[in-house]
Structure 1
Amino acid sequence: MHHLTPKEVGGTFLPTAQLCIPCHKQIHSLYTNDELEVRLNTIENLRGDEKIHKLMKWIRKQPSTKLVKTKKSIKRRKKR
């Protein structure tokens, strides 16, 4: 379950989205909670994001048994 508004900013009881584990992990490895709160806080915005759209397109082609590795984006790694 993905909180559309991060829990750390009060999203605990706000709307959520049901995502597969690889998609959920990848969203959090691509974007900070600040970015998710401001820009990607609706299903429509998530689907409209270019990186997430590419991920969804690719993941639909994978067998459900495939183990998908998640890697943080270079941009995200530099923010730490």
Structure 2
Amino acid sequence: MEKGVCELCKRQPVDLTIHHLIPKEEGGRFSDTAQICIPCHKQVHFLYTNAELATLYPTVDSLKHAPEMKKFISWLRKQPATSLPRMKKSNRLKRRRK
């Protein structure tokens, strides 16, 4: 895993993962990607469905300004770069997938 600066929270040095801005399931296999830290990546997928990511948040900038992510990023920036906080799936998504 590569270390660097997360494109969402800007923490560094953190382990980076590759996030497909348009999920592969939604046709984004060969589309743009972003290098984001593990907590940001988990939070993105815990908050939004693949369809929502493809239509509402297909860029790093749109993800940064999504209300739920803004709040999370603000909190995460205060955490040490080495921390891997526990994540919970949003209640909204839990209800949708049943």
Interval containing the TM-score (normalised by the shorter chain)? over 0.9
Deviation digits for residues 9-66 of structure 1, max 9, x if unmatched?
2211110111100000011001100110110111111111111111111111101222
Give runs of ≥4 in structure 1 deviating > 2 Å: none
Structure 1: gaps of 5 or more residues = none
Identity of aligned residues (%): 50
Q: Between Structure 1 and Structure 2, which shows a larger proportion of helix residues?
A: 1
Query: Does 2:57 correspond to 1:40?
Result: yes
Normalising by the residue count of structure 1, what TM-score does the alignment of the two structures yield? 0.94
Aligned counterparts of 2:23 and 2:84: Cα–Cα separation in 1: 26
Root-mean-square deviation (CA, aligned residues, Å) is 0.9
Normalising by the residue count of structure 2, what TM-score does the alignment of the two structures yield? 0.78
Structure 2: gaps of 5 or more residues = 1-17
Ranked by relative contact order (alpha carbons within 8 Å, sequence separation 6 or more), the top structure is 1
Q: How far has the Cα of 1:73 moved from its partner?
A: 0.6
